[in-house]
Amino acid sequence: MAEMAAIVPPKWSRYALEIYMKREPPVLGTLDWLKLEGKAREKLKDYPEAFNYTFGSAGTKSTEDANLAAFKDWKIVPRMLVDSTQRSLETTLFGVKYPSPLLLAPIGVQGIVHPEGELATARGAAKAEVPLIMSTASTRAMEPVAKENGDGKRWYQLYWPRTDDITLSLLSRAKANGFTALVVTLDTMLLGWRPHDLDTSYLPFGHGVGVQVATSDPVFMQRNGIPVRPDERPEFPYDPVKADKALRSGDQTQMINTKLGTGWLSEGNSGMFRTWDDVKFLRDNWDGPLILKGIQRVTDAEKALSVGVDGVVVSNHGGRQVDGAIPSLYALDKICKSDVIREAQRDGRFTILFDSGIRTGSDILKAIALGAQGVLLGRPYMYGLACGGAEGVEQVCRGILADAEITLGLAGYSRLDEIWGKRDEFMTQINWNGKD
C-alpha cells in the first residue's frame, strides 16, 4: 500500500489543533460559552446595569429561553464511512462568496462593556474573516468603524429614522464607507418591556451614549445647530449617576449630550410603526442587498419577497423585544417550508438568514439544515468583547467556526450545500421525553 500523504487540517478546525499543539489555553481562558458568560459578568461586576442592558431580555426572559431550548429538540444523526477529510464552510450570500455562513449580529452600545467598543469588534471581525453588521445604536461613528474593519466585509443595520432626510444621510454614509448590505430592523420601533433596565432606569441613550452615529451625522447635527463630532468616544465606564449629577449641576456638555440622545431616540425608536408601503422608499434609495430583520411569520417572509427586498433575517431580537414569543428556530422551520420561499431561494432571488439562539457550531449546522443560508451570532461575541476586546471577538468567531467544521465532518459531510434544507436527512426532532 502506498504511503499516505500527511493530512492538512481544513481552514477552521486548524484552530483546535493550534491550541493543542501550543499547549496554551485560548486568550479568554475558555471556549465554553456559558463559562464565558460568567467571565463577562465578573468583568462587569462593578457595572451590573451594563451587563443586564447588553445581555438581558424582555419580560420573564421566556423568549430567550425558548430560543435556546428549540435547538435541543433537534438531534444530528451522523452518517459513517463518508470521506469528509477535507471540509469547507464556504457559502455565497447575495452573489458574494464568504468563507463561512457566520455574521456578527448588530448589537448597539458596545462602548458600555469595553473601552474601544465597536472599534475592537470591527478589528476582531476582520481578523476572523467574519462580516460585521454595524448597529445604528453604536458608540462609534460609521467612519472610524469602517477604518478599523479595513478590508473586512461589513453591512449596516438601520433603526429606521422617523424622517427621510436623516435616513438618506445614513444610507449615503453607509455606502461611502463600504457597507455593502442594508439590514433594516423591524421589531424595535420602540423598546421592549425590559424590567432589568426599568428597575434601574438604565438607558445610556438618555445621556448621549450609543448615539454616535447621530452625533457624527451632518443632517442630524445641523438640525440641532451643533457641529458634527466625527470621532466621538463616550467615557468608559459609562456612569449614569455621574451623568445625572452633571445634569443637575447645569453642566453644559452633559445637557447638550442629553438633548442629542433624546433627540436621536425620537428618531430611531420613535414609536412610529412602518408599513409594507414604506419599504419602497428604502428600495428606491439603496442599490445593494436590502434585508428585513425581525421576520417571524411565513406570510411576512412571502410579503417581503413580493415587495422586492433581497432577504430577511428570521429573528426575535434574541428575546429582547417580545416576551412569550415563539422561538426563532421554530419560525425558521415554518418559513423555509413555504414553497414560495424555497423556490426563490433556489433561484437566487431571496436569502434567508437566521438570528436568535446561536451558541455552538452544531447550532449553525442545524439552522442551515432547516433552510438558513447564513446565521448571525450575538451575545457570545459580546462576551468575548467584554473580556478580551478585539482578540476576544476573534477567538469567539474562530472557536464557533472550528466547532461547526469539526461537527460537520464528524456528522459525515464536507460542505454546507450537502445539508442545506435537508433537515430530515441531517437530523431528527425528539421531544423532551426522548421520543421521536
- At 413-428, the pLDDT tens digits run 999 999 999 999 999 9
Domain boundaries, the chain: 26-207+271-429
Tell me, what's the pLDDT at 337? 98
Tell me, what's the pLDDT at 436? 55
Is 291:313 a contact under the CB 8 Å cutoff? Answer: yes
Give the residue from 22, 58, 135 showing the smallest Cα distance to 321.
58
With b meaning 16 or more CB within 10 Å and e meaning fewer, what string describes 157-186?
bbbbbeeeebbebbbebbbebbbebbbbbb
Alpha-carbon span 288 to 389, nearest angstrom: 30
- At 138-160, the pLDDT tens digits run 999 999 999 999 999 999 999 99
* pLDDT of 175 over the 50 cut: yes
Tell me, what's the pLDDT at 432? 57
Set of cell numbers at residue 153:
466585509
Give the CA count within 13 Å in the CB-facing half-sphere of 70. Answer: 26
Q: Over pLDDT 90: what percentage of the chain?
A: 95
Is 189:270 a contact under the CB 8 Å cutoff? Answer: yes
**3 state SS of 66:** helix
Handedness of CA 48, 49, 55, 58 (dihedral sign): positive
Mean pLDDT over residues 350-367, rounded? 98
Give the CA count within 13 Å in the CB-facing half-sphere of 226. Answer: 18
Tell me, what's the pLDDT at 71? 98
Set of cell numbers at residue 43:
468583568
Alpha-carbon span 250 to 8, nearest angstrom: 65
Q: What is the CA radius of gyration of the chain?
A: 22
Tell me, what's the pLDDT at 434? 52
CA 145 to chain CA centroid, Å, is 16
The domain made up of 26-207+271-429 is a member of CATH 3.20.20.70: yes
Which residues, in sequence order, are CB contacts of 391 under 8 Å at separation 6+? 27, 124
- At 372-416, the pLDDT tens digits run 999 999 999 999 999 999 999 999 999 999 999 999 999 999 999
For 8-90, list the strands marked E by DSSP.
74-76
354 forms bridges with which residues in the sheet? 314, 375
Is 284:309 a contact under the CB 8 Å cutoff? Answer: no
Give the residue from 310, 322, 323, 381 showing the smallest Cα distance to 351.
310
Alpha-carbon span 239 to 204, nearest angstrom: 9
- At 40-55, the pLDDT tens digits run 999 999 999 999 999 9
Tell me, what's the pLDDT at 2? 47
- At 219-261, the pLDDT tens digits run 999 999 999 999 999 999 999 999 999 999 999 999 999 999 9
Alpha-carbon span 294 to 363, nearest angstrom: 19
Q: Over pLDDT 70: what percentage of the chain?
A: 97
Tell me, what's the pLDDT at 186? 97
* pLDDT of 6 over the 80 cut: no
Tell me, what's the pLDDT at 340? 98
Q: Using omega within 30 degrees of 0 as the cis cutoff, is the peptide bond preceding 237 cis?
A: yes
Residues annotated as catalytic are: 317
With b meaning 16 or more CB within 10 Å and e meaning fewer, what string describes 249-279?
eeeeebeebbebbebbbebbbeeeeeeeeeb
* pLDDT of 1 over the 50 cut: no
Mean pLDDT over residues 93-99, rounded? 97
